[in-house]
Amino acid sequence: MPSFETTMLIGGRRIEGQGVPLEVENPFTEETIAMVGTADEGQLDAAIGAAREASRAWMRTAAVDRAELLHEVAEGIRARTDELAEAMTLEGGKPLVENSDEVSWVVACFRYYAEIGRDSAGRVIPSIESTQLAMVLKEPHGVWGCIVPWNYPLLLLAWKLAPALAAGNATVCKPSELTPLSTLMLADCLDPLPPGVVNLVAGGGDVGAAITADPRVDGVAFTGSVETGKKVGHACMDRVARVNLEMGGKDPFIICSDMADRLDVAAKGGAWAAYLNSGQVCTSAERFYVMDDVYDDYVNAFVEVAESLVVGDPMQPGTDIGPMVSASQRSKVAGQVEAAVSSGAELLVGGDSGGNDSGHFYSPAVVTGAAAETSLLSEETFGPVAPLVRVKSLDEAIELANSTPYGLGANIYTQDFKTILRCMREIKAGTVWFNDPLTDNDAGPFGGFKQSGLGRELGREGLEAFQETKHVHIESEVAPKEWWYPYSQYAGGADQPHGA
């Protein structure tokens, strides 16, 4: 068993948490692999205070200098790819190959924001008079709280941390209580940054709530459930703090009739979208709407792919599907499937332990015949389940795709450009993928419609989320204006005041 970093990072110092310790479980062996002390009230106060103090100098640091430091952070993370990937696998259950990919995406995110953070600080706009200069400035807020879930602990932190730092903010970051180890391991990679610019604290919902409520925290970036996200949003609105929320999803996946000759590819893409990280992805495909004339063939192709996947030890190179993160998460997924089957649906394959004697496994499931009102088709599942639904037309598929309170992502397989145009315009989702599911792009904004969230991460929009906008108006002629007082000068038909 490797040794793990369990100390927090506060004001540039590694500190043992003095709060109630967290037991970190390996979801494959179900053994406790580490104990992590959480931040008590005094330590959290110190972390926020350190961020507030560090923000004053950091926001004045030249953007080009901040960029160089972020590149150093990226290089430090890249150098520790193997260690970080192993830690994420042991604490979260995602296959090692997927976690190695995650680390590379983290590095790319830091490098992207290192560059665009020094690309622009605003813009010059047309002035009212020739003697004036008018500008729009983009400035940091000060301190941001970053609250991160367990499914992609480093990537979803990077999506917040990298743009926040590039914009000139200091941060207080809290990983999930289920997966704190990999985040705490980042401390050494953050050494190039001034002390206090990044603070890493461990804890549960109480620590997250305290960060959200603290008046010294200017904004909170959160990824997690709708229920918790609403609480974060309300707490921030109560004190008019900035907030960025990425919450739940129930992403649709549409298979069109013109894919009849490529159903094998569409089945592999669908399985990837449904089962990646055991279905524990914000943008997992959780509802498949398949045109009637290709439905039977698609079901057969999908089942064939699902049955071929290797379910087992996530540290082994040949494993496709690892365990789910916790017993409670597995229980929720199993409950949704059981309720659907009780209501008349059919479980074609999966839904068991995949032959494993220990671990929170739920083998890739394919379900048909589920009613639209079941939780399996209306509520977030967050597990390796693919409910396949027969539809008669694209009209019906789009209507069903838009039928939930969510709007994070959507996938469509089609070879018809007119169908692409229609779906991209009519489907209510923050990201719409055609023929290539779940591909993220650092330059492309990520976020949701409806209850899936507020604001965007990634892209320039992701940088602007951590910036305040200021209008600056400069007049070079320090002299009275003809439109000032007294208004009596306009009596008798003289020109009206400027802007009247």
Q: What are the catalytic residues? A: 246, 282
| Token pair belonging to 224 | 């997690």
Separation in Å, CA 20 to CA 16, 35, 288, 448: 11, 10, 43, 35
> Is residue 217 helix, strand or coil?
coil
Separation in Å, CA 463 to CA 118, 148, 163: 11, 18, 5
Beta strand pairing call for 467-475 and 132-140? antiparallel
Beta strand pairing call for 409-413 and 251-255? parallel
d(CA 401, CA 424): 12
Sheet holding 346-349, edge to edge: 346-349, 365-368, 385-391, 285-291, 251-255, 409-413, 431-434
Residue 206: phi and psi, rounded to 5, are: -65, -35
CA angle 52–38–322, rounded 5-degree value: 110
| Distance from the Cα of residue 337 to its chain's centroid | 26
Q: Are 162 and 459 in contact, with CB atoms under 8 Å apart?
A: no
CA angle 464–469–473, rounded 5-degree value: 145
| Token pair belonging to 409 | 């992502």
Q: Are 435 and 417 in contact, with CB atoms under 8 Å apart?
A: no
Place of tokens 């089942």: 303
Q: Are 34 and 13 in contact, with CB atoms under 8 Å apart?
A: no
